[in-house]
Amino acid sequence: LDLDYLERGGGSTLTAGGAPSVEPSPDSLDLIKVVLLGAPAQFVWSDFSEEYLPTDRKHTFYPSVIINEHLYEVKITDVPVIPYFPINSYYEWAHYRFYGLRNATAYILVFDLSNVETFQYIRTLRDQMVESRDMRNVPVLVVGNKQDLLCSNTPSAASGLQQLAIAESACGDSREKRRNIVNLVRKHWKCGYVECSAKYNWRVIAVFKELMEMIDSIEWSGGGRSAEPPPDSSTGGAGSHDNRCVVA
């Protein structure tokens, strides 16, 4: 992660006359549109609340991301819980107007690691996406949040060995369910998977980096933009591609 990259020349774009170029409008067609089912505040603003506040309306954020020396203007849309993914444009217009669900560039699907049953909701949404829109070249990143809560309930000394055995058994069951989820997501869905803790800011940047690497790979490998190499990528040989990511 190179947080000084913007200061070294990536922070602004100049025209031939030396004046800053016009920034794209929030509704620019060049935006990378990411739909997030979950709370984006920690991912975008490094903000976390101990009290769970479910999303009750649409929230939109516009970070700029530089990865592999490619600049992306990103639109992240956090939407309230939806009972289903719209099967066509009519249903989207009728029930999820202006959510941008069906024309998203990528999706982040978040579930609660401390309650793996919440994965079923994500699974249903993903199945509906595949059935109702063309998902080729549309990255999907599955994120297991609240990693800090896994097996965190340590029994007290007074609870005895029986309670300890019960806790260890429950922890083992949780690990098995997580392994099954990871296998399904990575091997069968062919999607990215990251675990993080928004509370402790653990691997939160990795979520964004993983998604942007997926998008960047598609954009520059024939699925999107012209497949020309990034600046100076040929000067350092095959090992010069350092996958740096900057979120501004």
How far apart, in whole angstroms, are the C-alpha atoms of residue 71 and residue 193? 24
Least trusted range by pLDDT, from 83-92, 170-179, 184-193, 226-235: 226-235
Sketch the domain layout of the chain as residue ranges: 24-247
How far apart, in whole angstroms, are the C-alpha atoms of residue 110 and residue 121? 10
Q: Is the pTM of this model over 0.85?
A: no
Cβ(210)–Cβ(178) below 8 Å:
no
Which sign, positive or negative, has the C-alpha torsion 93, 97, 100, 101?
Answer: negative
Q: How confident is the model at residue 133 (pLDDT cuts 50, 70, 90)?
A: very high
Summarised one tens digit per residue, pLDDT across range 33-68 is 999 875 444 555 555 555 555 555 788 889 898 888
CATH topology assigned to domain 24-247: Rossmann fold (3.40.50)
Q: Is the pLDDT of residue 238 over 50?
A: no
In the numeric block, the tokens 């095959």 are attached to 238
HSE at residue 182, side-chain half, CA atoms within 13 A, is 10
Count of CB atoms within 10 A of residue 169's CB? 10
How far apart, in whole angstroms, are the C-alpha atoms of residue 208 and residue 3? 14
Give the model's pLDDT for residue 240.
42
How far apart, in whole angstroms, are the C-alpha atoms of residue 58 and residue 78? 6
Summarised one tens digit per residue, pLDDT across range 187-210 is 999 999 999 887 777 788 888 899
Give the model's pLDDT for residue 59.
82
Two structure tokens written together for 128: 């509906």
Give the model's pLDDT for residue 174.
78
Q: How confident is the model at residue 231 (pLDDT cuts 50, 70, 90)?
A: very low
Could you give the C-alpha distances from 239 to 92, 194, 215, in angstroms and in order?
45, 25, 21
Give the model's pLDDT for residue 69.
86
